[in-house]
Amino acid sequence: MEEKQDIRQRRRLAVSRPKAGAAALAALCVLALWGCSGGEKKAQADKARPASVTIPGDPEAGRRVYGQYCHYCHGTEGRGDGPVSIGISPHPADFTTDAKRMSKTDAELFKSISEGIKRQIGGEAMFMPSWKDILTEQERWDALAYVRLLEKKGKEKNAKAAAR
C-alpha cells in the first residue's frame, strides 16, 4: 500500500512538471523523426546528386541573411567591396570574378562559411568569421544559395560590360 502511494506521488510529480518535459520530449521526437525518416532520406538524396548542381538553400531567404551579415565585407553585389572590406587586406573574395575560388564545390564553400577562414598572408592575418554558432545550418545554405546567385548575376553583368 505504501509503495503504491509512493508511485502515485511520483507520477503526480512527473505530471506536475509537464512543460520542460514536454519541450524536451518534443525536441527528442523531432530528432528521432529526423534521424529515422527525413534526415536519412535527405542524406541519401544529397549523395545522389552532385553538390555543385543543386543545394538545399533558398536564395530568397539567403538574401536576407546576406544583407544582415555578409554584405559588409563581400559587398551588396558580392564583389568584395563592402564597407568593412576596406580594412581587410587582401580584400574578401569577389564572387563574380574569382573563378578559381568559386569553382569549389558547394560543400567546400559551405564548410568555409561554417568554419570561417583564417590565413596568414605576408605577416598579416586575414579572416572570415565562423558562422556556425551564429547562423543555423539552413541559414548558411540559404546564404550560399544567394552567393551563387550573386556569382551568376555578376558574371552576366561582367560579360555584358566586356562586350560593350
Q: Are 64 and 139 in contact (CB under 8 A)?
A: no
| Closer by beta carbon to ligand HEC, 5 or else 122 | 122
| CA-only gyration radius of the chain, Å | 23
| Closer by beta carbon to ligand HEC, 35 or else 83 | 83
List the one residue from 55, 145, 147, 150 that touches ligand HEC (CB under 6 A): 147
List the one residue from 93, 145, 149, 150 that touches ligand HEC (CB under 6 A): 93
CA distance linking residue 139 with residue 127, whole number of Å: 20
List the one residue from 46, 117, 138, 153 that touches ligand HEC (CB under 6 A): 117
List the one residue from 106, 131, 142, 151 that touches ligand HEC (CB under 6 A): 131
CA distance linking residue 34 with residue 115, whole number of Å: 24
| Closer by beta carbon to ligand HEC, 31 or else 107 | 107
- Answer left, alpha or beta for residue 130, where phi above 0 means left and psi between -120 and 50 means alpha: beta
Copy the grid coordinates of residue 131.
558562422
Copy the grid coordinates of residue 132.
556556425
Interface residues with ligand HEC (CB under 6 A) are: 65, 69-70, 72-74, 84, 88, 92-93, 101, 104, 108-109, 112-113, 117, 119, 126, 128-129, 131, 143, 147
